[in-house]
Every structure is written in structure tokens, then in C-alpha cells.
Amino acid sequence: MEKKVSPHSVAVHAGDRKRPASAAGTDQPAFVPVTIPIHTAASYFYNDMEDLDRVFGNEMPGQSYGRYGNPTSDALEELVTALEGGAGALACSTGMAAIHMALSTALIDRRRSVVASHQLYGATLGMLAKVFEPVGVEVAYVDFCDEPAVAAAMEKQRPGAVLMETASNPLLRVPALDRIAALSRAADAPLIVDNTFTTPLIVRPFEHGASFVVHSLTKYLSGHGDVMGGIVVSDEANLAPLRALSRTVGFTLGPFECYLAMRGIKTFPLRMERQCASARNVAGWLSAQPEVARVYFPAEPNHPDAANVKRLFTDGLYGAMVSFEVKGADRDRIFRMMNALRMIVPATSLGDVHSMMLYPAMASHRDIAPKHRARLGIHDNLVRLSVGIEAVEDIIADLDQALRA
């Protein structure tokens, strides 16, 4: 049996060091770049027009037009495909573009109905409500941690697609991905999983039956806060429709961003391991503070989805996101705390090398009605912390002084 390669090695090597096809039979030395070059050409030609025709017809591999991809994006797609264990990938301009592509592909020639987790990133909820529902897609929102409710919704809706997050934003609920995938297969509905929070180091959704896996490349994979991008990885059954649709829609990620994302991914497993370890320490510290009413973190012994976490997550890794509620705080109190931060960055993102704090009611879930937010458990005293790679004692010291500001 072939030995499974560690994600640490895959992250460093997959997609790079392609040998040029033109080297054989020429006088040119067959040099190979150590890392993928940045290919900026908008179009490509061949010595023989028959070759270009075959490339356009998908009869042979090659490049034709920048909207369809280029060697740099191909390398990034190969890398993330290898990390996730899919059949192929599409690098997109943003994470939201990747979700749009996955949903649109899944609904081709299927019933225009989606069963979606009611706990999703605010922009994803907004896309469903403002983009897909107005064009006739029915969306049923369900608590994905209530498996009987998911099964009932599948039977009632007969969906064309199912959408969930591995760990929900921002309360870090962990649905039974494997069992929901089985329900999706029985309904012949592709399962789309946003794996941004957990990354393929912690959960590989294809191993549990997903059809599409989506990432915001901006977050943990790139990891340095300098790339805007997304990627959707597909199984074999949905790859051809995904690529065909991408040629028309044109959400393609540019070559500079692909290069930066690929450079960031080389160190992603190292960063993620450190961030996970620090987050666990931070969550434990927060749980002991009198100013903190509640901590949301998958390693907490009383986490409502502890059984799913144990079954699905890589041992000892629980992610690097920690959400917590400040006791009795309102918006002004939260703002005062965040203004007092000296090292942790109070900004709108996550997964960077630097720790970041976000106020969901103001940012990620701003467009969700306050009553709806409250029903979801996203209260006005909740903050979300993305733990970076700084010394954990410095992260805790900054939280300590800010909580008491």
C-alpha cells in the first residue's frame, strides 16, 4: 500500500517544479524553476493551430486564455487539491466567489433548492438571501447540529445542494459532517463544505463524503493578510461542470495572488499547529476570567458537539478561533475593550500570522437583523478572536489588560 504523504510535505512540494514541455528535443537546457513563476500572459498560442484547437476542446492540457486559467493558477489548484484530497480545483477572486461557483455548479440540472445551515458566515447568508433566492432558488435554513431536523428538511425540500461549515462562524459549532454527507448522498444533493476555519490539516471533508470543499484563501492557507482569494475543490463527478461554468463566469484569481497564496501555503501546517496550540491555551485562560461569561472553543469539555469533534478532528488540533462573551457588556463596552488592545489587531479578517479580534454584530454578521442574530446566539457581548503565531503569553497579556480597560 502506498504511504500517505504528510500534509506538511504536500504543502511544500505539490504544484511546483514543473518540467517545461518544450525542453525535450531542443538545444535549450532543461532548467526547472524551484518555485512556480508568475505567468501574466492574457493569451497563449502554439506552433500548430491544431494544438490550440485541441486545448480549446479540452482534448489536451494547455493554456489558451487567461480567464480559463494560467500555469500559476494551475499550480495553486494542484496544491490545494492535493491537500484536500479532491479531484481538481478552481482558484477564484474571493472566498465568496468560490461559494457562488460551488452553489451554481451544484444546482446545474438539479432542483433549485438548497438546505443550508442556519449558522453560516454573514456574507454567505446574505448571498443566499440576496442572490440565489431572488432568482428562484428555495433555501431552507436548518440547525445542522440537529440531525433529525436536517433529515426532515432533506425529505421535505428534495434539495439540489446542501451547504454547511465544518466549524460554524462565529460560535464554532461542529455538525456531524459524515452523517450529513450520507443524507446528502441519499438525496442526490452535492454537499458543499466551507472548510476555512478548520483547514485540511484538521478536517478533510472529502474523506467524509463532501462533493465540494471551499476555502477563503485569504485566511489560514495564505495566512499573511496580503492575498484576497478563494478556492473551490471538487470531486470527480462535479469537476467538469465547475470548469465549464468558470469559463463563462470568469471569477478567476490573478497570477500574482495565486503566487502569493502558494507561497503562504508552504508554511501553513507549521503556522496552524502553533495557532491551534496557542488558541487552546488562550481559551483555557479566558474560561478562568471573571470578566468572561462564556467561551466558545471546540476543545472545551462541555462543548455541545464534543462527540463530533472527537470523531472528525485530527487529534490534538481544534482550530485557532476562540469566541467569547464579555460579562454584561454592551456595544460601548466591547468597543472600549477593543480600542484598548495593544498587539491584537481589531480588524475584519482571521487566519493571519497576527492575532485579530472582530465584533460579529458590527462586522461579519452586521447585515443580519438583531433579533435573528440573537436567535442564532450571536449576542452583542460576543467577540471573535483569531489567534496568531505570536508568543501566547503576549496574546494573553494583551487580552488581560484590554478586558480590564
User: Which active-site residues does the annotation give?
Assistant: 67, 121, 194, 219
The three cell numbers of residue 300 are: 472545551
**How many whole angstroms separate alpha carbon 18 and alpha carbon 73?**
13
What's the one-letter identity of residue 163?
Answer: L
| Beta-strand pair 191-194/212-216 | parallel
CA terminus-to-terminus distance, the chain: 58
Query: 385 — phi, psi (to 5°)?
Result: -115, 125
Torsion of CA 100, 106, 107, 110, to 10 degrees: 180
265/217 Cα distance (integer angstroms): 9
Rounded Cα distance, 196 and 202, in Å: 11
Q: Which three three-digit cell numbers place residue 216? A: 477563503
Does 170 sit behind a cis peptide bond, omega within 30 degrees of 0 on the bond before it? yes
- Long-range CB pairs of 365-374, under 8 A, 24+ apart, other chains included: 365/122, 365/170, 366/122, 367/122, 367/126, 368/122, 368/125
- Rounded CA gap, 200 and 268, in Å? 10
Q: Which residues are CB-contacts of 387 (< 8 A; sequence separation ≥ 6)?
A: 275, 278, 279, 282, 320, 321, 322, 355, 395
Alpha-carbon span 206 to 10, nearest angstrom? 17
E strand residue ranges, 129-268: 138-142, 161-165, 191-194, 212-216, 230-234
